[in-house]
Structure 1
Amino acid sequence: MSNGLVLAIAAVLLCAVCIWAGVWIYMRRKYVDFTNAVCGSIDQILSGEGTGDFDFDDESLLSKIQMRLERLADITEAAARESEEQKKQVQSIVSDISHQLKTPIANITMYSDTALRPELSEETRQQCLRTLKNQVRKLDSLIQSLLQMSRLENEIIVLHPRENVLKNTLFEVAESIRLRAQKKGTEVTLECPENLHVYYDEKWTAEAIFNIVDNSVKYTGDCGKIRICAEPLEIYTKITVEDNGTGIAPEHINDVCRRFFREEKSSCIEGVGIGLYLTREIITRQNGYLKIKSEEGKGTSVSVYLPNQGK
């Protein structure tokens, strides 16, 4: 083999080695850059900064991974926001419940201590015991309402809408409240077409409408009037409870269905501010809705809209 051929082969081999080394160095650099870019994107997600700016039109492998990281970042941020919102809701509920329980428990403690005083006259002691019994009843009512609220919110209570004769349900509601209304001299009237069939859960819808009528009795003065009426519409049936009570301030119309909301002027009236909240939950879970109209000093009208047909 001539020296020229040997040199040629050596030159070719040297070029091949150089090319391979160059390709290896290039690929290694690309790999390092790729790894750094992915790690940088992950670090940005972990720090809550998103994934940075990239060209999503680029069809490279890095771009595809970055697009998926962007989706992961969106999901992570949404989950973090939801978790924070749930935390705030739990804190709000605990605060509300604590506030609602504080007054009856304080009253029970105070009247219990008073009733145990040996120098107390029998008449005063009996008065303390009657007040104590009343506070226990209020506390029991509050706890039952809280349990209902919790079971509804956590979907432990499942509503089963089916076809019912509406007048039967409204009649039961009117009769269950009539005695209390009569004690105040308040008249309760019912107007509902015979054989009007509507889809709803009978037990819980009766509870929802009772809450509305109960509020009307509470906030209507002596010799007041409460009218319960039903009107079939094209898609819904409208159930309205009207009264000539104290009415609601315009700025509070949108607040009365909030959990534990009560106007300052109603602080002397028995209640905890859960009734209309439960009513709205029960009705909306049956694809219905509520409308409230009120004029301060003249009265309130609460309308429940229930679908005429099931799903």
Structure 2
Amino acid sequence: MKIRRNEYEILNQMLDDAIAGTFEENCFDESELSKLQTKFMRYLSTASMSEKKIQEEKDNLKELITNISHQTKTPLTNILMYSELLTEVAATEQEKEYAGEVFAQGKKLESLIEALVKMSRLETGIFQYQKKETAYREIIHKAVEQALPKASEKNISILVRDVGRYRSYVDEKWVIEAVYNILDNGIKYSGEGTTVYIEEFSYEFFSGIRITDQGIGISEEEIPLLFGRFYRGRSAHDKEGIGVGLFLAREIVENNGGYIKVTSQVGTGSRFDVCFPNISTL
């Protein structure tokens, strides 16, 4: 059946209305085109309802996440404050140990809730990235600044090699967090007196930030599992952490159009390449 020009215009207008969210059902006759229009109308109506329901669910989830974050903040702050006070007034070493354990578990719970909120926002698309042209130099310096206190505690050096040549189109704030998470991971699994190196690199279509540590390394079969939610390696159970840092790093990098490449050798260390498209290839 050939569709005449006016019939094509009717169908085209239906699509335009559906895209604009102004589509409404009209009265049709019993022609073949009318039957097609009716089916099309039912499909568009169903799709519109589904989209509306998805958006409502996202809004409800956003509200739930915000409420969880707000409702847990005050109780956790009080737990941490009172556990510190108990440590100061404890009469015996055992009491101090118990109060210290309450504080440590409270901090762990605080980190877990913060990570869960971030994961939910990233996975559901609630958060919108604010991308702009960004120099890797800025990301590196700010991530290193955050990581230095923990590195100093373990007498670990962070050596920033030649930077300042490359840039990409990313959300600076969130990519800083991704790079910091990888740096933090390298510090966590490296021994005292070692060095973590961070530098830029560039290929024809991609450039990025490379983090190399002198830690315990990762076996080849574990590398594909590294970025799983709450995954902790076989050698990581005696280390601090909840297993979400690398998961968040991957989510952030991929949502900024990039990827992470890992190479490692057990007992020697690991290298993480955080890659983004070159601005010239966007």
Q: TM-score, normalised by structure 2?
A: 0.66
Distance 2:232 2:173 in 1: 26
Distance 2:166 2:102 in 1: 45
Distance 2:274 2:135 in 1: 16
**Counterpart mapping for 1:89-238 below 5 A:** 121-238=91-208
Contact residue 136 and residue 209 of structure 2 kept, 8 A = no
Match of 1:282?
252
Alpha-carbon offset, residue 196 of structure 1: 2.9
Alpha-carbon offset, residue 195 of structure 1: 5.0
Distance 2:153 2:180 in 1: 17
Distance 2:233 2:164 in 1: 38
Contact residue 226 and residue 243 of structure 1 kept, 8 A = yes
Match of 1:49?
none
Q: Secondary structure at the match of 1:265?
A: coil
Q: Secondary structure at the match of 1:193?
A: coil
Identity across aligned pairs (percent)?
Answer: 33
Runs of 4+ with >3 A deviation: none
Distance 1:124 1:223 in 2: 32
Contact residue 196 and residue 214 of structure 2 kept, 8 A = yes
Alpha-carbon offset, residue 254 of structure 1: 0.5
Query: What residue identity is the alignment partner of 1:231?
Result: F
Q: Which has the larger radius of gyration?
A: 1
Query: What residue identity is the alignment partner of 1:188?
Result: I
Contact residue 132 and residue 170 of structure 2 kept, 8 A = yes
Distance 1:239 1:197 in 2: 10
Query: What residue identity is the alignment partner of 1:291?
Result: K
Alpha-carbon offset, residue 233 of structure 1: 2.4
Distance 1:193 1:285 in 2: 24
Q: Secondary structure at the match of 2:193?
A: coil
Q: Deviations over 1:80-116 (max 9, x none)?
A: xxxxxxxxxxxxxxxxxxxxxxxxxxxx9xxx9xx8x
What is the number of residues matched between the two proteins? 201
Query: What residue identity is the alignment partner of 1:279?
Result: A
Q: Secondary structure at the match of 2:200?
A: strand
Match of 2:76?
none
Contact residue 192 and residue 231 of structure 1 kept, 8 A = no
Distance 1:287 1:156 in 2: 17
Q: Secondary structure at the match of 1:250?
A: coil
Q: TM-score, normalised by structure 1?
A: 0.60
Distance 1:167 1:191 in 2: 10
Q: Secondary structure at the match of 2:235?
A: helix
**Counterpart mapping for 1:290-301 below 5 A:** 290-301=260-271
Contact residue 136 and residue 208 of structure 2 kept, 8 A = no
Structure 1 vs Structure 2 CA RMSD: 2.5
Q: Secondary structure at the match of 2:273?
A: strand
